[in-house]
Each structure stands twice: as structure tokens, then as C-alpha cells.
Amino acid sequence: MASASPVLLSGSAIGWYGDRGGNESCNETSGPGSGFLAGLCSAWEGATQPPKAAGIRVTHLRSGQGQSAESGMLGKTLPLYKFGVGGRLGPGTQCWSWISIADEFGASHFLLEAEVAGPVNLTAPEPVTTLDYTRTLGRVLKRLTRSPTPMLGPKLLLGGEATQAIVESQRVLPRVLEDAGHQFAYPTLEPGLRALFGERPDPMAGMTTSVTCRRG
């Protein structure tokens, strides 16, 4: 049953936290970062002041690296890995906070009904380094990933600003979702990737609920 009170799910991203470097963990209480992506996300979220003032519950969906074979970072670089020429992106030590498409959809559906307002990190509970990500993807695809991928390729595919998200280190945890009782279908990376490529059933298959989200 949908929430009886008005709610706006406003699209944002973990770029709000900026490059944290090292192993610093962020949650929804952490302060903003700096740089282009952080400023852009802050502007998105700031644009929701009118509906807030009108008494609408506003939830900011700070999405991590969405795992999709058709779009996003993975979708754009997947051909490199399938041809066996993909490898780690950047130094390999930076932390990526990712989320499966099934969990992105599931968490959005959950937040329509949960009385949660403000920022919510849409990230899996187990971030990984880019080196671990690459090794896991190679294992799932049964491809070698020993050689690093030159950053020129991702820059041409994704654009200069988008590649900033690749080299930045962000260990972002979904504290609000977990505290609210949301259960992740894929809390760890390898099962999520295996489901994405058809090796495991998708728990969201057959779900036909319509979810409306808005970028601020």
C-alpha cells in the first residue's frame, strides 16, 4: 500500500560527499564534500525547498554506482571486459560504493511507504575497492583483468566530469536504510553481479510497481 501522505523522492548521488580518500566511512550525518559533483548534488537537493515548505515529505536518494549491463559506468565499460582488455580503473585502492539495480528499485519502493525524510544513501552495505571490484567482475565474466585500463577509454566513453566518480574514493554506508529495516537483496558484490548476468534469479523479477522519482 502506498504512503497516504505526499512524498517526493528526489534523485541525488553519493557525489555529495566528495572524495574522502583512504578508508573514511560516510553516512547520512557526514558533511558535504567539495568539487564539481559535490556542488551539483547539493544544488539538486537544494532545489527541493519549495515542496518541503509546502509540507511534502522529501527524501533525497543519494545513489551509489548503479550496477547495470545497459547503462552507467559498468554498462559503458562492459565491452572492454568482455573482450578481455578491461582492468582496474585508477589506482585500484579507491573505494567504490555500489548498488544493484534490484536494490535501487527495492529501496525506492520501500521509501515510498517508510516515513523517512532527508538524505538516504542508496548503496550496498559492503563497499569494495576498485581492484576487488575488477577481480570480482573478471571472475563472474570469466575474463582476465590483470592489466589496468587506461583512463583515456573511460573519459571518452563517460565524459571528463563523469570519470571523476571513478577515481574518487567514497566509502558510503546506508545507515538510514538499515536503521529503517530495509533488507538488501544483494548486500555483497559477487552475488549481485551474477544475478545481473543471469546466473542467479533476480528477486525483483515480475514486480510491476510504478515508482516516480525526480531530480531536484
Q: What is the mean pLDDT of each run of 10 residues along the chain (216 residues)?
A: 77 93 89 91 95 96 94 84 82 92 96 96 96 94 80 58 72 97 97 88 41 32
The span from the CA of 84 to the CA of 194, in Å, is: 18
Return the exposure string of 152-167: e unless at least 16 CB atoms fall within 10 Å of the residue's CB, then b. ebbeeebeeebbbbbe
- Domains along the chain with CATH numbers: 7-198 (3.40.50.720)
Residue 57 has what pLDDT?
A: 97
* Res 37: pLDDT: 87
Task: Please check whether residue 141 is in contact with residue 197, taking contact to mean a CB–CB distance below 8 angstroms.
Answer: yes
CA distance 166 to 36: 14
pLDDT at 60: 98
97 contacts: CB under 8 Å, gap ≥ 6: 14, 64, 65, 121, 123, 124, 127, 170, 171, 172, 173
Query: Are the C-beta atoms of 123 and 14 separated by less than 8 Å?
Result: yes
How far apart CA 51 and CA 49 sit, in angstroms, is 6
Q: How many CB atoms lie within 10 A of CB 3?
A: 12
Q: Mind spelling out the 3-state secondary structure of 59-128?
A: EEEEECEEECCCCHHHHHHHHHHHCCCCCCECCCCCEECEEEHHHHHHHHHHHHHCCCCEEEEECCCCCE
Output the pLDDT for position 176. 98
